[in-house]
Amino acid sequence: MNRLAGYLLMTVAIGHALVGLILYRGSLGAIWAAGFFNTIRPGVDFDRQAVFWFLTFSPLVFLLGQIANRALDRRDASVLSLIGWYLVGLGVVGAAVLPISGNWTLVAVGVFVLRAARQARTPGGQC
């Protein structure tokens, strides 16, 4: 089966990391200049907390892309459906709270993964 759904997730992850590195370069520099270890104080360093969570999201989405590719190889529609619905749900909630953001990308990719799940259920279906 075509691995486009998984590769889309990995592309979103890489793009998210690049955007984070650019937007938060000042905060990243401050973390690095402070010695990296134990340099984010909860409830105080909001910019550093933001960059940490922003960049933590990227490897998790990349991992989802790899899991989606494995599920596509195995035609595992249940795993693809699970990933797809989580992405749609996370994207809808994120877009409701922060409409001008990349959360809409999660909705779009989630729908694409759900489409791949439906095709995986069909004998001979191609994603």
Q: What is the rounded average pLDDT for all residues in the chain?
A: 93
pLDDT in tens, 24-60: 999 999 999 999 999 998 888 899 999 999 999 999 9
Rounded Cα distance, 72 and 69, in Å = 5
Per-domain boundaries in the chain = 4-121
Burial class (CB in 10 A: 0-12, 13-18, 19+), 73: exposed
Query: Can you give the pTM of this predicted structure?
Result: 0.86
Give me the DSSP letters along 49-104: HHHHHHHHHHHHHHHHHHHHHHHHHHT-HHHHHHHHHHHHHHHHHHHHH-SSSTHH
Model confidence at 2: pLDDT above 80: no
Q: What is the pLDDT of residue 6?
A: 93
pLDDT at 103 over 80: yes
pLDDT of the residue at 124: 64
pLDDT tens-place string over residues 69-91: 999 999 999 999 999 999 999 99
The DSSP string of 94-126 is HHHH-SSSTHHHHHHHHHHHHHHHHHHHSTT--
Cα angle at 20 between 49 and 101, to 5 degrees? 95
